[in-house]
A and B are shown apart, each in its own frame.
Chain A
Amino acid sequence: MKRPLSILALLALWGPLPASGQSLMNAAGLGLPISPGDARARALGGVALGLRGATILGTDPSAAAGLALPTVVMTAQPSWVDFGRSDTGESGRFRGTRFPSLGIAYPAWSLGMVTLTFESYLDQRFEAERPVTLQLLDEEAPATDEFVSRGGVSQVRLGFARTVGQSARVGVAVGRYTGTSTRRLVRSVNDTLAFESFESFQDGGRWSYSGASLTAGASVTVGEFAEVAGSATWSSGLEATASEDTRGSDRTWDVPLELRIGASAVLAPGLSLAAGITRADWSGVDDDLADGASLGSTYALGVGVELTRATFLGRSAPLRFGYSRRDLPFTLADATPRETAWTGGLGLALDQVGELVRAAVDLAVERGRREDGPVAEDFWRASLTLRLSGL
Chain B
Amino acid sequence: MNDEEDSGEYLMRKKLATLLACMALGSVACSEITPTSVDDSLLPGEPVTLEVRLEWATFASNLEVLGGYGRAQELGVGILAEDFGGTLDARTLVRFARFPRSVSVPDTTNTTVVDSMLTLLAGRVVAQLDTLASTNDGPVTLALGATDEPWHAGTATWTHAVDTVNGQVPWTEVGAGPVTPVATAVWDPAQGDSVVFELDSAQVAFWGDTAQAVRGARLDAVTPGVRLKLNQVALRLDMRPSVNPDTTVVLTTARTDLTFVYAPSPEPPQDGIRVGGVPAWRTVLDIDMPATLSGPAALCDVAGCPLVLTPDRINYAALVLRARKGDPAFQPSDSLSLDVRPVLLRSALPKAPLGGSLVGLTGRRVGPGIFADPEGTEVEIPITNYVRSLVEQDTTETQPPPRTLALLSVFEPISFSYASFFGPGSPEEPVLKLILTAGPSVELP
> Interface on A for B, CB 8 Å cutoff?
20-24, 26-27, 29-30, 74, 76, 78, 81, 83, 85, 88, 90, 92-97, 99, 125-132, 134-138, 143, 145, 147, 181, 183-185, 187, 195-205, 207, 240, 247-249, 251, 289-292, 332, 350-351, 358-359, 361, 382, 384, 386, 388
Contacts and interface: CB of A to CB of B under 8 A. Distances in A.
21 contacts: A20-B34, A22-B35, A23-B35, A27-B42, A76-B28, A92-B37, A99-B25, A126-B36, A127-B37, A128-B36, A135-B49, A136-B51, A138-B51, A185-B47, A199-B384, A248-B444, A249-B441, A291-B445, A350-B13, A351-B17, A386-B25
B44 A147 contact: yes
Nearest to B317: A197
**A contact patch SS:** strand
A381 to B, nearest CB: 11
B3 to A, nearest CB: 14
- Would you call the interface of chain B mostly helix, strand, loop, or mixed? mixed
B29 interface: yes
Contacts of A132: 46, 49
A197 B445 contact: no
B44 A197 contact: no
A195 B318 CA distance: 11
A127 B437 contact: no
A26 B35 contact: yes
Nearest to B41: A332
Given A20-B32, A130-B38, A207-B444, A198 B316 contact: yes
Given A248-B443, A291-B445, A351-B13, A88 B382 contact: no
B315 A359 contact: no
Given A205-B442, A240-B444, A249-B443, A359 B35 contact: no
B149 to A, nearest CB: 52
Given A94-B35, A130-B40, 18 more contacts: A24-B37, A76-B28, A88-B38, A95-B32, A99-B25, A128-B36, A143-B49, A145-B46, A183-B442, A187-B47, A198-B435, A199-B385, A201-B47, A248-B442, A248-B444, A290-B444, A350-B13, A386-B22
A359 B34 contact: no
Contacts of A386: 18, 21-22, 24-25
Contact of B35 (A21, A29, A76, A78): A21
- 9 closest A-B pairs by beta carbon, nearest first, are A197-B382, A128-B42, A201-B437, A247-B441, A350-B17, A94-B33, A386-B21, A127-B36, A136-B51
A97 B43 CA distance: 24
A290 B36 contact: no
A207 B30 CA distance: 27
Contacts of A185: 43-44, 47, 442
A96 B25 contact: no
A94 to B, nearest CB: 4
Interface string B401-445: 000000000000000000000000000000000010101011111
A136 B380 CA distance: 15
A196 B225 CA distance: 41
A94 B315 contact: no
Contacts of A184: 442
B442 A204 contact: yes
A197 B34 contact: no
A92 B41 CA distance: 17
B443 A388 contact: no
B313 interface: yes
A385 to B, nearest CB: 9
Contacts of B443: 248-249, 251, 290
Nearest to A29: B445
B14 interface: yes
A360 B435 CA distance: 61
B51 A137 contact: yes
Contacts of B385: 199
B300 to A, nearest CB: 16
B37 A90 contact: yes
Given A128-B42, A201-B47, A201-B437, A247 B37 contact: no
B384 to A, nearest CB: 5
B310 to A, nearest CB: 10
